[in-house]
């Protein structure tokens, strides 16, 4: 085992890097859509409660686990978790902390490449004069490799490799390079966000037209910020809110533990973790909610937004809307928007490379360049199919299994380790050692009981999602002694491909397409399982290597 003395250059650099890890594309793309799809203001109260009862406890837990493992010279989750228990199983549970980052970065970097190429298209004026349908078609052609490529064959693949290469280069410079990017990228991201949020808050009904006479940005703002207390009784909204917390804080991945493992033994983690967490919430709740939905409502009306809200709005709708502000300011707004997304993406994807690099450095003595290049090559091998077979759902499979299910499973297991195996008393002492704030004692109880129960409920809810997400009806059915029908989005239905089979029944004329989708879906899962087993085998080999070193 190789011991590294690398550490963060400054406290502000650490906080910005941690915040950059959390502040990602989900803050601006996923959060507004989740809010719209779950009733706007009805989503906010469960979301904020989940942040207090799920997000903050997991931040405390992961920072504590990371710093504790770091003092033994461990900088990746297999051996960080192994240092907290004598049972070897935890070392292999820690594989999730490397696997998830590689699998997620494989497709996440592809989204980064969209933001990068859209900055260039905005500067070149590609979208000038295009209508809504043309802008939407431009994106569809780009990701499906059927056009919008400037006449360059496989341009999306070339741009993807370029952006992945930028990540690899920065990673090869170590923590210092990541810290520099965070110090530049996070302030720029916030500045861009404030500019666009100001537009969203001030445009009002100024851009209503004959086609959309009721367009008013304030309708979008009011929809998002008018709380509805009835949502507290809706399990569907709670599940959506809890899921968003995972996306927005990057918990359950292993990257936070890795970053925290480079914190000095008696350096504060309590205030640092809260600072990073609340920075993320500021960006997401105040900026993220003030851009896409209000601006779209200001041009197209709230009814259009409610019918069309989705992840693709950022690329399929926003370029058209920015043009309505005029050629100059529209281009400036486009650069701000896609530049914001690019910085949000790259500060997160950089964090995903550090667990693999830390592991290979600790166990095999690999340097920064070798670790970064090997990470990039593995990510490329995993990511190429997400580019080439995007239309067949390869991208979606990675996002579901690695970017959703894996996070919940790992977070549940690690909080059990921290609170019940390592012990909440020892864990509480570790969290408070060197703390610059006094953490309320109630969080000791929350970490031990409330958060694990909530995580278990999230997992069970995803496993047995009722048809139409009708939880009230499902509960009534269970009380009658019967089992309810599962939704096609439930984990069980996903495993058996019931979701795709249902699409074949509904669209028999597209049966060939969906059969291809089923094939590539299975192939994506095989690739993910192979990656997990390969990392597991490397961890097993490293255990033998450690034993030989001791002898």
Instruction: Convert the pLDDT of each residue in 330-366 to its tens digit.
Output: 999 999 999 999 999 999 999 999 999 999 999 999 9
As beta bridge partners, residue 466 has 486
Q: How far is CA 76 from CA 46, 360, 433, in A?
A: 32, 9, 21
Q: Which of 108, 106, 101, 103 is nearest to 77 (CA)?
A: 101
The encoded tokens of residue 186 equal: 């996070």
| Average pLDDT in the chain | 90
Q: What is the pLDDT of residue 101?
A: 96
Could you read off the pLDDT of 112-161 as tens digits, one per residue?
999 999 999 999 999 998 998 999 999 999 999 998 998 898 999 999 99
pLDDT digit string, tens, across residues 253-265: 999 999 899 998 8
Confidence class of residue 444 from pLDDT cuts 50, 70 and 90? very high
**pLDDT at residue 161, as a whole number:** 98
| DSSP classification of residue 449 | I
Residue 547: pLDDT band with limits 50, 70, 90 = confident
Q: For 65-87, how does the pLDDT look when each residue is reduced to its tens digit (9 = 90+)? A: 999 999 999 999 999 999 999 89
| Most trustworthy range by pLDDT among 91-105, 193-207, 282-296 | 91-105
Nearest to 62 by CA among 92, 84, 86, 30: 84
Phi/psi for 129 (5° steps) reads 85, -5
Region label for 150, one of left (φ > 0), alpha (ψ between -120 and 50) or beta (otherwise): left
Q: Tell me which DSSP letter residue 39 carries.
A: T
The reported pLDDT for the residue numbered 34 is: 86
3-state secondary structure of 486: strand
* pLDDT number for residue 38: 84
Q: What percent of the chain has pLDDT over 70?
A: 98
- Tell which residue, 405, 397, 363, has the closest CA to residue 537: 363
Domains, the chain: 11-463+497-550 (1.10.4160)
Compute, in degrees rounded to 10, the torsion defined by CA atoms 340, 341, 342, 343: 50
Which residue stretches of 250-326 are H helix? Answer: 255-260, 270-281, 292-300, 302-308, 313-316, 318-323
Closest CA to 258 of 488, 101, 487: 101
**Measured distance CA(216)–CA(226) in Å, rounded:** 16
Q: Kindly tell me the sign of the dihedral angle through the C-alpha atoms of 117, 348, 14, 171.
A: negative
> Does residue 410 carry a pLDDT above 90?
yes
The length of the chain is: 551
Looking at 172-186, 439-453, 512-526, which range is the least confident one? 172-186
243 pLDDT above the threshold of 90: no
Nearest one of 406, 68, 46, 340 to 200, comparing CA atoms: 340
State residue 9's pLDDT score.
63
Q: What is the mean pLDDT of residues 30-46?
A: 86
pLDDT above 90 (res 4): no
Confidence grade of residue 551 (pLDDT, cut at 50, 70, 90): low
**pLDDT at 16 exceeding the cut of 80:** no
CB 6 within 8 A of CB 262: yes
**pLDDT category of residue 7 using cuts at 50, 70 and 90:** low
């Amino acid at each position: 085992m190789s011991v590294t003395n690398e550490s963060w250059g400054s406290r502000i650099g650490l906080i910005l890097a941690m915040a950059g890890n959390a502040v990602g594309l989900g803050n601006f793309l996923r959060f507004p859509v989740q809010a719209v799809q779950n009733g706007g203001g009805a989503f906010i109260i469960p979301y904020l409660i989940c942040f207090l009862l799920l997000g903050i406890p997991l931040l405390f837990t992961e920072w504590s686990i990371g710093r504790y493992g770091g003092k033994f010279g461990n900088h990746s989750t297999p051996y960080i978790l192994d240092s907290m228990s004598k049972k070897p199983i935890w070392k292999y549970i820690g594989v999730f902390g490397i696997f998830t980052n590689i699998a997620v970065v494989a497709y996440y970097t592809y989204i980064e490449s969209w933001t990068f190429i859209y900055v260039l298209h905005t500067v070149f004026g590609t979208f000038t004069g295009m209508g809504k349908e043309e802008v939407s078609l431009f994106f569809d052609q780009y990701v499906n490799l059927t056009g919008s490529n400037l006449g360059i064959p496989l341009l999306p693949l070339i741009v993807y490799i370029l952006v992945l290469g930028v990540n690899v280069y920065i990673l090869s410079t170590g923590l210092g390079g990541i810290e520099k990017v965070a110090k530049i990228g996070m302030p720029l991201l916030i500045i861009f966000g404030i500019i666009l949020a100001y537009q969203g808050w001030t445009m009002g009904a100024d851009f209503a037209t004959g086609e959309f006479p009721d367009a008013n940005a304030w309708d979008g703002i009011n929809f998002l910020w008018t709380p509805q207390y009835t949502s507290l009784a809706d399990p569907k909204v709670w599940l959506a809110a809890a899921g968003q917390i995972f996306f927005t804080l990057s918990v359950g991945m292993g990257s936070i533990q890795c970053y925290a493992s480079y914190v000095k033994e008696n350096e504060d983690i309590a205030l640092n973790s809260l600072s990073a967490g609340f920075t993320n919430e500021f960006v997401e709740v105040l900026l993220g909610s003030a851009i896409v939905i209000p601006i779209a409502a200001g041009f197209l009306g709230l009814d259009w937004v409610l019918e069309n809200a989705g992840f693709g709005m950022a690329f399929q709708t926003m370029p058209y809307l920015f043009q309505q502000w005029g050629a100059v300011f529209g281009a400036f707004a486009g650069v701000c928007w896609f530049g914001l997304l690019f910085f949000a993406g790259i500060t997160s994807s950089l964090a995903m490379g550090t667990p693999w690099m830390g592991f290979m450095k600790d166990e095999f003595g690999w340097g920064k360049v070798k670790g970064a290049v090997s990470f990039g090559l593995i990510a490329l091998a995993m990511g190429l199919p997400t580019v080439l077979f995007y239309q067949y759902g390869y991208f979606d499979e990675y996002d579901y299994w690695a970017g959703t299910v894996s996070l919940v499973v790992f977070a549940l297991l690690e909080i059990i380790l921290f609170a019940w195996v390592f012990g909440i008393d020892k864990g509480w002492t570790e969290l408070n050692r060197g703390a610059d704030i006094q953490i309320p004692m109630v969080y000791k109880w929350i970490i031990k009981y409330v958060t694990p129960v909530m995580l278990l409920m999230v997992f069970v809810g995803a496993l047995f999602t009722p048809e139409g997400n009708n939880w009230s009806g499902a509960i009534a059915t269970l009380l009658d002694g019967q089992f309810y029908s599962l939704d096609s989005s439930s984990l069980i239905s996903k495993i058996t491909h019931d979701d795709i089979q249902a699409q074949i029944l509904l669209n028999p004329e597209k049966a060939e397409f969906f059969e291809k989708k089923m094939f590539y879906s299975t192939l994506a899962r095989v690739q993910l399982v192979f990656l997990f087993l390969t990392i597991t085998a490397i961890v097993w080999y490293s255990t033998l290597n450690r034993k030989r070193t001791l002898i």
